[in-house]
Every structure is written in C-alpha cells, then in structure tokens.
Structure 1
C-alpha cells in the first residue's frame, strides 16, 4: 500500500511539473472572482487538446458545468480571463460564445459558436510580435439576445510547425447569463469540433519560415452592426496585466501577401534591433531567425529540433 501511495504521489508531482498554462479566473469589469468559480475546471493538468475531432475542443478535458456557477452580466460588459502563468507559446488567442438552449451549466457546447475577438500577431520592422500575456480583456456584444451563454477562450499554440509538430489548443469556458441584450442573431457560426481543420492556413503556418502574414483559424469575428456579421476587431485591446506580459518577436522577410477571409495582418518593411528573450519564450529551433539571447536568470533549452525555450 505504501509503495502504491508513493507512486501515486510521484505521478501527481510529475503531472503538476509538466502542466502548461490555463485560463482559470474570470473578471467582470474591475471585479475579479475566485479561481474556477465561473470557469469550468479541466481535469488534464493543463495539457493541451490536439485532436481536431474531439468534443474536448469545446471547453477542455473533463470541464463540465456541474460544479461551476453562472455569473450575471450586462450586454456590453468587459470580461477578462486571467491565467495561472502568462501564455508562453506563440499563436493567436480567440474568444467565442455559444448560446445555451436552457442553462449554461447544463449546456455541453454542441450548438453553434460565434467568434467575438481575435488577438493575433502584429508585423512590423521585419518581425512578428505575438500578444503573450497573463490576462486578456474584451467586450461582450451589445446586440445579441439575452440568455445563458458559454464564453470560450482559446490559445492556439503553433510553436511546433505542422505536420512534423501538432498545434495545441489551451481552452477554458466561462458560464454567464447575459441581460439587456438585443435581437441580432450573431454570425457566421461554426460547430466545435468542426471549426478548425488541418488545412487551415492559420493551423499549418510555419512561424519560422517566410512568415509575413497570418489568418486566425475559425469563422470571422462577429461585430454588432456588421452587415454580414463578419469583419475584424470586436472588443477592446489587450490591457496591461497583473503579471508581466511576454512579447515574442520573430524575424521575417518584408513582403506583402493576400490571404483568405479572417483576421489577417501583413508585414511592414523595416529594420530590427537589439533583443532579449523573456523567460518561457522561444529562443531557437530549425528555421528560427529571432532573438537567441535569454533574459537574465534563464537559459535557452532545446525541446525539439523546431523549438528551444528560455527556461
């Protein structure tokens, strides 16, 4: 028995050490609520979801509404998702919503989802910069119908390029009751799973080679007043975070391209400059041409041929 308990403890310790980041805390306006009070808690020690056909892509592994409370918020309110540690994998952050047929706690997320915010890369001076932060803030739409919703935030990590590597989804869902809404039916919509395919340019993008524009996977962002429910933007810009924000830059060649519909940014010509890679950010790998000097207190450590990280 003692041996079994020791092995179990060791297994738990290893799982916790290998854990990644997780969106675990919700704020409404300036009010920050306790961890997992209104966010469904996952059961996979923050390991990413990688199967594009899995229902776990909705709210994460083991994340149900059974033990999660639902917070009442007014349409147009500002929400913030805060992580246990800042995002340290390159890739876009996206926010989705799905209206529950009854209550948010009973909803499995099998209905239609619409996107309300993308946090994508910016391109300037021959470099791509990702918004890797400790929290993400956005505004709820004012025009959608009142009722219970799941609000889903997703970090799509593309630091290990497809097909040699598999992109990773870090996901959490909050439960809200929206009041004071309008009568607009949001769109475009998509089902999850189904919204993301291994042929999407934002899924297959190689950030280490000829990376000069990017299209965030999934449907276009819905905004109130848009004629077809599409378009970019939606919500406020990322705010300053309570934890230090991490900004990663990747050198790219200045070119101009045209991409598919979605949230797209294009590189602007320019020069580089001195650099220092923050802890947890990328510092090397096959095809990587960004900064390789880690900030004081961290060392560039190889994970695989495509990815080295300051640890």
Structure 2
C-alpha cells in the first residue's frame, strides 16, 4: 500500500510539472534548429522561477553556457523562439539581450541587459486579450555592435494574482555571435534587480478592473533611441499559432496537485518530486542540487 501511495504522489508531481512550458528551440530565418542546440538547457524541466532576487531569472535554473553551442547571426536577421507547449498563462512576453565581455559560453549574464521587444495585452470592451503563442518571432536590431550576446525570452504568468500568488517567470537564453552590425551600445539594466514586487505589471490583477497594463522591466530599446546609432524600422512580426486569451471574471487559479511539507525537499538537479510547498511555507533554493520548503 505504501508503494501505491508513493507512485500516486509521483504521478501527480509529474502531471503538475508538465502543465507548464519551456522555450527550447531557436530558429533563424527559415531554419529551425534542434532542441537546446543553441539554447541553454535548464535543470528544472518546465517549472517557473518566482524569486525576484535569484540569478536564475537570467537564463533559468541550471542553464549551462559551456554545454551550449553559439549560433552565428547577422544584424537584422529574423529569429524565432519555439516552445514545447504554447504559452497559455496570461501575461506578457519580452525579449532581452546582454553583450558578453568575451565568449558568451562563459558568460553568466551578470552584465547589463536591454529589452528589444515586448508583447503585452490589447484591450477592447473592457477586456484584455493576450498574444499567447507557440512561437515568437522578431529581428536582431541592425545597429547593434558586433560581438557575442545572450538572447533571452521571458514569459511572465500573472494568472494567480499577487500577493496570494506569485508571478511565474518562464525564461530561456540563446547564445549568438553577431556580425554585420553598427556601433550602438544600448543603456542597460541588471537581472536580477530590474523587477520589483511593487511594479504595476507584477502586482496587476487581471480579473478586477483590468483596463491597462505596463509590462515589467525597462522600456523597449530600438535603433534610433539613446545610444541607438542609425535609425532602423524593422517590421515586427506577430506571434504565429496565436491563441487568443480573453480574461473572464473568474480567476484561473492554478491549484497544486501535491504539496511538500515544511522542511521537505522541493527542487534541485535530478529532483523529480513535488515542487509545491504546503501552505505557510515556500520553496527556497539552497544550491543547484537542493531546494527546501521553509
């Protein structure tokens, strides 16, 4: 009987984890590259990051640059991030870049970041609609200076309103080597550090008086802005395989199907158990191999 309960708990944990999504492939032009060939592979499967002070906000938990190849791209190239499952949690999607001081495979993302695009909600008739998709396409700014960069995509799920629920960050980083660019060096921000739990885009309740929204993070930077070099006006492609998500009056509350008791393990490399903590405790990362409910 004990074995039956253990198997049931494991199945619930796997089901809960698989209910999320991960950006796992990068394409350039018409070429769709293999899974995690140029994207740093994370170690927490498709679970989100929720700690605003964590370095995991940069590229996700356990994302390893040394084990990832770097893709050669040209300034102005169109690229696409593909997911295993289309984004379905309401919230914004943003694209960031960070220039490495040398080889991007050795870069931890501790330098400056700048945002090159964002997808937020549109509003009509008192309702907000999010551009939820299975892939997101944009172009490398043509005026950026040559070098190696982290190219980061971020989906913030705000479907469980703060403070009862924490916004969920689904992030991935690709490694690229840029040539054929200009001389622009955009103003930057730090990750972690740029996101605050007082940001209106973080604390927004999408089920109550939701008629405007500000995407968290810095303003989108484009060629022609401060330190932006020559003017460039690339066409912004819309996300493909679009899923229209209109907010209803009933919150979409993600109910955990399992709960780890206080002081129990809730994460870490190789951990396959329940990643949710019982009421009154939260999952705290002690190191890459062990997180505990405290």
**TM-score, structure 2 normalization:** 0.78
Unaligned runs of 5+ residues in structure 2 are: 256-294
CA drift at 1:15: 3.2
Tell me how far apart the structure 2 counterparts of residues 169 and 239 of structure 1 sit (CA, whole Å).
19
**Which residue matches 1:62?**
62
Equivalent of residue 250 in structure 2, options 284, 289, 295:
284
Aligned residue runs from structure 1 range 188-227, under 5 A: 189-227=188-226
Aligned length: 248
CA drift at 1:216: 0.5
Aligned residue runs from structure 1 range 80-229, under 5 A: 80-187=80-187, 189-227=188-226
Change (3 A) 1:67 1:9: farther
Tell me how far apart the structure 2 counterparts of residues 9 and 180 of structure 1 sit (CA, whole Å).
55
Q: Contact (CA 8 Å) 2:25, 2:36: kept in 1 or not? A: yes
Q: Contact (CA 8 Å) 2:50, 2:169: kept in 1 or not? A: yes
What does the per-residue CA deviation read over 1:99-125, in whole Å, with 9 as the maximum and x for residues that have no partner? Answer: 001111110000000000001101112
The 3-state SS of whatever aligns with 1:211 is: coil
Tell me how far apart the structure 2 counterparts of residues 43 and 235 of structure 1 sit (CA, whole Å).
35
Unaligned runs of 5+ residues in structure 1 are: 252-282, 289-301, 305-311
Q: Contact (CA 8 Å) 2:160, 2:254: kept in 1 or not? A: no
Tell me how far apart the structure 1 counterparts of residues 93 and 152 of structure 2 sit (CA, whole Å).
11
The 3-state SS of whatever aligns with 1:171 is: strand
CA drift at 1:235: 6.0
CA drift at 1:138: 0.6
Equivalent of residue 246 in structure 2, options 225, 244, 249:
249
Q: Contact (CA 8 Å) 1:223, 1:234: kept in 2 or not? A: no
The 3-state SS of whatever aligns with 2:105 is: coil
CA drift at 1:29: 0.7
CA drift at 1:13: 8.1
Change (3 A) 1:71 1:159: same
The 3-state SS of whatever aligns with 2:69 is: coil
Q: Contact (CA 8 Å) 1:150, 1:176: kept in 2 or not? A: yes
RMSD, aligned CA: 2.4
Change (3 A) 1:210 1:234: farther
CA drift at 1:134: 0.2
Tell me how far apart the structure 2 counterparts of residues 57 and 217 of structure 1 sit (CA, whole Å).
13
Say which structure, 1 or 2, has more relative contact order (CA 8 Å, 6+ apart): 2
CA drift at 1:126: 2.2
Change (3 A) 1:226 1:8: same
What does the per-residue CA deviation read over 1:213-252, in whole Å, with 9 as the maximum and x for residues that have no partner? Answer: 10001111110012466xxx976132423xxx3211126x
Q: Contact (CA 8 Å) 1:118, 1:221: kept in 2 or not? A: yes
Change (3 A) 1:67 1:110: same
CA drift at 1:18: 1.9
Tell me how far apart the structure 1 counterparts of residues 7 and 223 of structure 2 sit (CA, whole Å).
51
Aligned residue runs from structure 1 range 288-303, under 5 A: 303=254
The 3-state SS of whatever aligns with 2:58 is: helix
